[in-house]
Structure 1
Amino acid sequence: MTVDFSPLRTARVALTFSLTMLACAMAQADDTAAAPLWTFGGYGTLGFVHSNDSQSDFTANVLNPGNAGASHEWSATVDSRLGMQLGLNLNSRWSAVLQVVSERTLQSGYAPMVEWANIKYQATPDLNLRVGRIALPLFLAGDYRKAGYALPWVRPPVELYGAIPISNSDGIDASYRWSAAGVHNVTQVFFGRTDIAVTPQAHATARAMTGLSNTTTSGALTVRASAMTTELTVNLARELFAGLNQFGPQGMALAARYDVNAKRADVVTLGASYDPGAWFLMGEVGRMNARSYLGDKTAAYLSAGYRYGDLTPYAGYAMSRSRTPARIDGLDLRGLPPPIAAAGAQLNAGLNQMLATIPHQRSINAGLRWDVRANYALKLQYDRLTPLRGSNGTFINVQPGFQSGHPISVISASVDFVF
């Protein structure tokens, strides 16, 4: 039996389930209650990106084709997107939200995808429960990472946010608000799964996504700490790992070590932002260990900006460091017949090519945000990114002439808006 785990199908499942739950809630609602309150809004970004490296493409995450660099001198596919959100407040306890986003993906082009589709039940003034498709609370901007207008930069730092391109899960969560000594907290627990079509033939599936997040606010200070664990399967490079398994114990050991097949993946993040109004300072750090060719890595950034009326210049530093080497010896081919040794050499090259995609990189950036008018912002940003230690960094579509250790300049311009 073949099961279709395409994003469109899982989006329909989440939407259908949420609407069914909403219908049940409406049936239980008091007939004398006020009429439901509908809300509608949205956000969008029109962005253009240029990379001066002709041997790779710059992208915000591996699920976006990027196309800035080797593919095109300028690309609008990295950051451009349109999102629309429909909300329903049925009564003081029941509400629902549906958010649809159109952005460039590897699998579906600009086909609209369901980003959120959930029902919320306000059990008490401090406790709420949700079911459906829910945003993952892994980063400071986890709830609005795709809404460019809400961000000071053109895009979140790719070293950290690109490491976890998954932005939602299908499941349940519970959030509890509490205070202590004048400090406000929101503690959130969640459980779910997600399925992503990487290519027409390959899917990534995260099962039993279980996590805890706490957001603390005190005046201008916001701190969010999150942790998540999941069982991850990515059915890429099936021929490579099947070939390794044919080389006896050493090949089987390599396949077991690097294949993403029901591997436990853990994520821990910590971020803080201080924004008194005239200026801001924020930073985050995350550790991601997928126990496979996806790597064991740490990523972080620090960013600051100052507001002069409608202008906000900003600058930042980011890095990603991998504990997984970008190149290994692989299969020991000594003494093997030439045809078998040649096949083994190809397998070693293929495995090292995959390991090189684990980002080991540092970058600096500087930019300017201009709030042209209410709900519209124009941004210009310069990034200087340097992949290190044989890694491709966060770049994709890497060509044979790509040089790790060579700085790459990326220029971005965008118009962000909300409505």
Structure 2
Amino acid sequence: MNKIFKCSLIASCLLMQPIFSVSADSRIDNLIEALDKVKISGYLNLTAGTAKNDKPFFDYDKKLSTTNETWGGVQIDFNASENLDFTLLTKFFAESRPYDDSFGVDLAYLTYKLSDQTKVRAGILRVPLYKDSDYKDTGFAQLWLRTPELVYANNKVQRHTGIEVLQDFYVGDGTIQVQAFYGQNEDPRAKASVNSNKTFIIDDIMGVHATYTIDEHLFKVGATTRTEPGELEDFIFVNDAGKQRLHVNGYYAGGRQTFYSLGYGYDDGEWKIDAETIFEITDGSRQDNGKYYGSVGYRFGDLTPYIMYQYRETLDDSKRGQGTDVYEAADGTKSFFNTQKSIEQSIISLGARYDISSNLAFKAQIDRYDHEYTFVNDRVIELDNTLYSVSLQAVF
């Protein structure tokens, strides 16, 4: 009887084997199909630098640092359906930045394609203020070792949580993409300035930008606006002497700031030319600024030397004078703001990029920095420094 049972069991297993095989093959096919919908990519910037003297420049001094500008990110794209995609970009720093975790989520959003020319995105999104906003931190995608700091440095308008619409228009041989967005962003800097548990929100971050690409040319124009977070009362504190003081964020609280941008790019495979202008205009007490840069590079095979010039200046110097920006507390204590009447900054950069492979590049760059402050009492301070940097940048 046992022998008959064993033979029957073996025969049953043999008969069922194709069924199990089909089921296993089906699961494998389903797994392969699911994996085909997922794309994993990323970038890495390994940078070392040292300055000529100890006056900080990009957080560098005479001591060689390999962590100030070393970071990377991993991006996961999931194609949920023919029209719906999900994107997640994480970012890590070799050295934790102020107000940033050493590792965290940089972007996370859904994209829904309404048509071949219209897309809607929602989630944590990049603010498209700059010509190279989409890959500001992805050094490999740029000619330079780092983006033009005097133009691109504004941490309060790098990203937002909200919604945006992208619409393409075909004009002759070119394409115009219009990008409109609306959202808000938390401002941890305001929270830290008064050591408060309150959450400060940069409200009404919104704008419209248009990018026109034709042949080797790219043109971009647009405007972005935002409101400084909090109210004046949120930033009043008592100093060590027992006197009431107002933090500068309180003096600017509620002010509306608008950024008008104009950019141009040209790349014919040999020459690469970039230029950008941004005007920062405020209806409050914050200074108005004009920011400009231009760069030219030429490819000799895998080697591309380049030169870049950046300049920043205050535009409303006549508004500032002694006693024009003062806050008087209830106890009679006065706080003075905007004591710098004018600011002029410039950076000239010489560098070279060598493409080791299709996804790995080595860059070397020298930056000469000049900075002049003119105070409301006509006192002038001039600063200068030189930064030497090398970087290995990759995408995968």
Which category of TM-score, normalised to the shorter sequence, fits these structures? Answer: 0.7 to 0.9
Amino acid of the structure 1 residue aligned with 2:235: R
Instruction: For 1:193-272, list aligned pairs within 5 A.
Output: 193-198=184-189, 201-202=192-193, 205-233=201-229, 238-239=235-236, 259-272=251-264
Amino acid of the structure 1 residue aligned with 2:57: F
Residue 154 (structure 1) aligned with residue 151 (structure 2)? no
- Deviation string 1:59-107 (CA, Å, 9 cap, x unpaired) is 2xxxxxx3x12xx622334321111100001221011100011133202
Instruction: For 1:324-339, list aligned pairs within 5 A.
Output: 324-325=316-317, 328-330=321-323
**Which structure has the greater CA radius of gyration?**
2
- Equivalent residue in structure 2 for 1:312, among 301, 304, 316: 304
- Equivalent residue in structure 1 for 2:382, among 401, 405, 409: 405
Higher strand share: 2
Residue 190 of structure 2 contacts residue 200 of structure 2 at CA under 8 Å; is this kept in 1?
no
Instruction: For 1:78-227, list aligned pairs within 5 A.
Output: 78-103=68-93, 104-110=96-102, 112-163=103-154, 166-198=157-189, 201-202=192-193, 205-227=201-223
Amino acid of the structure 1 residue aligned with 2:88: L
Query: 1:159 is paired with a residue of what secondary structure?
Result: helix
Residue 39 (structure 1) aligned with residue 39 (structure 2)? yes
Structure 1 distance, partners of 2:50, 2:162, is 38
Amino acid of the structure 2 residue aligned with 1:229: T
1:52 Cα deviation (Å)? 2.2
The sequence identity of aligned pairs, in percent, is 22
Structure 1 distance, partners of 2:135, 2:225, is 22
Equivalent residue number for residue 5 of structure 1: none
TM-score of the pair, normalised by structure 1:
0.74
- Deviation string 1:253-290 (CA, Å, 9 cap, x unpaired) is x989x812121110111100010001111100001124
Larger RCO (CA under 8 A, 6+ residues apart): 1
Structure 2 distance, partners of 1:74, 1:289, is 37
Query: 1:74 is paired with a residue of what secondary structure?
Result: coil
Structure 2 distance, partners of 1:40, 1:190, is 26
- Structure 2 segments unaligned to the other structure (5+ residues): 1-29, 194-198
1:108 Cα deviation (Å)? 3.8
- Alpha carbons of 1:94 and 1:54: their partners in 2 closer, same or farther (altered >3 Å)? same
- Alpha carbons of 1:199 and 1:102: their partners in 2 closer, same or farther (altered >3 Å)? farther
- Alpha carbons of 1:44 and 1:185: their partners in 2 closer, same or farther (altered >3 Å)? same
Amino acid of the structure 2 residue aligned with 1:238: F
- Equivalent residue in structure 1 for 2:348, among 364, 374, 388: 364
Amino acid of the structure 2 residue aligned with 1:361: Q
- Structure 1 segments unaligned to the other structure (5+ residues): 1-30, 60-65, 334-339, 392-402
Residue 204 of structure 1 contacts residue 232 of structure 1 at CA under 8 Å; is this kept in 2?
no
- Deviation string 1:330-372 (CA, Å, 9 cap, x unpaired) is 3799xxxxxx99x54xx33xx356x58x853112111011112
- Alpha carbons of 1:169 and 1:39: their partners in 2 closer, same or farther (altered >3 Å)? same
- Equivalent residue in structure 1 for 2:358, among 358, 365, 374: 374
Query: 1:406 is paired with a residue of what secondary structure?
Result: strand
Structure 1 distance, partners of 2:172, 2:358, is 37
- Alpha carbons of 1:276 and 1:83: their partners in 2 closer, same or farther (altered >3 Å)? same
Structure 1 distance, partners of 2:190, 2:168, is 40
Structure 2 distance, partners of 1:216, 1:97, is 25
Structure 2 distance, partners of 1:365, 1:273, is 18
- Deviation string 1:280-312 (CA, Å, 9 cap, x unpaired) is 111000011244564210101000000111111
- Alpha carbons of 1:379 and 1:359: their partners in 2 closer, same or farther (altered >3 Å)? farther
| Number of residue pairs matched by the alignment | 345
Structure 1 distance, partners of 2:140, 2:313, is 29
The more displaced of 233-242 and 358-367 is 233-242
Structure 2 distance, partners of 1:315, 1:131, is 38
Structure 1 distance, partners of 2:130, 2:216, is 18
- Alpha carbons of 1:102 and 1:199: their partners in 2 closer, same or farther (altered >3 Å)? farther
- Deviation string 1:132-153 (CA, Å, 9 cap, x unpaired) is 0111111111010010000111
Residue 177 of structure 1 contacts residue 184 of structure 1 at CA under 8 Å; is this kept in 2?
yes
Structure 1 distance, partners of 2:282, 2:393, is 34
Residue 40 of structure 2 contacts residue 74 of structure 2 at CA under 8 Å; is this kept in 1?
yes
Instruction: For 1:289-308, list aligned pairs within 5 A.
Output: 289-292=281-284, 294-308=286-300
Residue 241 of structure 1 contacts residue 259 of structure 1 at CA under 8 Å; is this kept in 2?
no
Equivalent residue number for residue 287 of structure 1: 279
- Alpha carbons of 1:232 and 1:317: their partners in 2 closer, same or farther (altered >3 Å)? same
Residue 241 of structure 1 contacts residue 255 of structure 1 at CA under 8 Å; is this kept in 2?
no
Query: 1:388 is paired with a residue of what secondary structure?
Result: strand
Query: 1:143 is paired with a residue of what secondary structure?
Result: helix
Structure 2 distance, partners of 1:169, 1:288, is 18
Residue 139 of structure 1 contacts residue 226 of structure 1 at CA under 8 Å; is this kept in 2?
no
1:373 Cα deviation (Å)? 2.3
1:233 Cα deviation (Å)? 1.7
- Alpha carbons of 1:165 and 1:145: their partners in 2 closer, same or farther (altered >3 Å)? farther
- Alpha carbons of 1:230 and 1:382: their partners in 2 closer, same or farther (altered >3 Å)? same
